[in-house]
Amino acid sequence: MKSNFFVLFFLTLSSLLQAAGGQDSSESTGGKPLVFTANYPLYYLCLSYAGDSVEMIWPFDEGEDPAFWEPEDEDIRILQGADLLILNGAGYDKWLEYSFIDTGKTVDSSRRFRDTFIETDRSGSHSHGGGDIHDHGGTAFTLWLDLSQYSRQAEEVHKALVKLLPRDEETLKERHRVMSDRIEALDRDFRAAAEQYEDTPLLGSHPVYQYFARAYNLEIHSLLLEPDVYPSEKDWKDLAQMKALYGADLMIWEGEPLPETRSTLEEMGIGWFVISPGFNMPEEGDFMGLLEKNLRALKNRGTGQ
C-alpha cells in the first residue's frame, strides 16, 4: 500500500504528542497484583494461598457485613485497578450491579454450583439497628457455612490465583491441597457433630443458615434478630410462638447476644450457641479458628459458652 510521507509525518507527530502527554500505565503496587475478595472466607483463602505474592484489597469496615457493602467512588476506583476480583456469587455482590468493574477480571467462586442455590422469599426486608433496609430475598448466599461448598469455592480461588500467578503454580497447588484437606476434615467433623440434632429443631437468630442446615441435616427456623440489639416485644412474641410451634428450645446466634437478651432467653427456657458466619474479619484468630469454634459450639450444644 502506498503511503505518503507527510501522513506519516503527521501521524508520528500526533503520536509523539500523545506519548508526551501520557502517563506510565504500569501497576503502582510495586509489581504485586491487586486482589479483591468479596468477604472474609474468600479473603482467608486468598491470603493463605498467595498472601506473600499479592496485595489484598479489604475495603470493609470492622463489623460491616460485606453483603450489604455500598462502595464509595474512591473504593470503586481502587477496585478498577485490581487484577482479580473474587466474588461470592449467589447475588451476594450487589454493589457490582451499579459499579463500573471489568467482568473479565471477576471470578465467581460459586458459579459451578449455581444450580444448587437456595431461593428464599423476598418478603423479609428489614434493617439492622440504624442500618439500611435490606432483605435476604432472592438467593441465600451464606454458601461457605456448607464446607463442601466452601471447598468448591476454594477450588475456584485456587484456579484464579494460578491463572494470575502462573509461576507460583506449584506452591499454590500445595497450599490448596493442605487447605482442601483441612476443609474436608472439618466438613466431616461438622457432619458428625450435627448427627445429634437429627430430631432436634433449632431456631436461628437470622436467615443465614440455609446451606448450613441443608449440608448438615439440621432443621433451623430463622427469625430476624441481631446479637447486638435487644429484641422488641414483638420479636419476643414471635420467638415464643416459634418455640411453641416447632418445639424448639435451642437457638443459634450469629454472634454472642447481649447479656439482657441472654437472661430473657434463659427465662424462656431457650438454650443458645453461636455459629458465626464469619463474613468479616474476626477480632482474633482466623477463619479456621472461627470454624473450629463453631464446631465446638455445635458439638457441645452451647454448653460451656
List of residues contacting another protein (CB under 8 A) = 1-4, 6-7, 10-11, 14-15, 18, 21-23, 25, 70, 73, 76-77, 80, 94, 97-104, 163
Q: CA-CA distance, 82 to 188, in Å (whole number)?
A: 36
Rounded least distance, CB 126 to another protein, Å: 15
Q: State which residue, 78 or 288, has the beta carbon closest to another protein.
A: 78
Rounded least distance, CB 163 to another protein, Å: 8
Q: State which residue, 13 or 178, has the beta carbon closest to another protein.
A: 13
Rounded least distance, CB 112 to another protein, Å: 11
Is 250:184 a contact under the CB 8 Å cutoff?
no
Q: State which residue, 135 or 219, has the beta carbon closest to another protein.
A: 135
Q: Which residues contact 45 (CB under 8 A, 6 or more apart)?
A: 37, 153, 154, 157, 158, 179
Q: State which residue, 28 or 103, has the beta carbon closest to another protein.
A: 103
Q: State which residue, 134 or 299, has the beta carbon closest to another protein.
A: 134
Rounded least distance, CB 74 to another protein, Å: 8
Query: Hey, what's the cell of 268?
Result: 424462656
**H-helix or E-strand spanning residue 22:** none
Q: Give the strands of the sheet with 219-222, arranged side by side.
A: 219-222, 201-204, 250-253, 271-274
Rounded least distance, CB 138 to another protein, Å: 12
Rounded least distance, CB 69 to another protein, Å: 12
Q: CA-CA distance, 203 to 276, in Å (whole number)?
A: 14
Q: How many other C-beta atoms can be found within 10 angstroms of the C-beta atom of residue 123?
A: 7
Q: Which residues contact 165 (CB under 8 A, 6 or more apart)?
A: 33, 50, 53, 54, 172
**H-helix or E-strand spanning residue 35:** strand 34-37
Q: State which residue, 58 or 100, has the beta carbon closest to another protein.
A: 100
Q: State which residue, 97 or 233, has the beta carbon closest to another protein.
A: 97
CB neighbour class for 143 (10 Å; exposed up to 12, middle 13-18, buried from 19):
buried
Rounded least distance, CB 219 to another protein, Å: 30
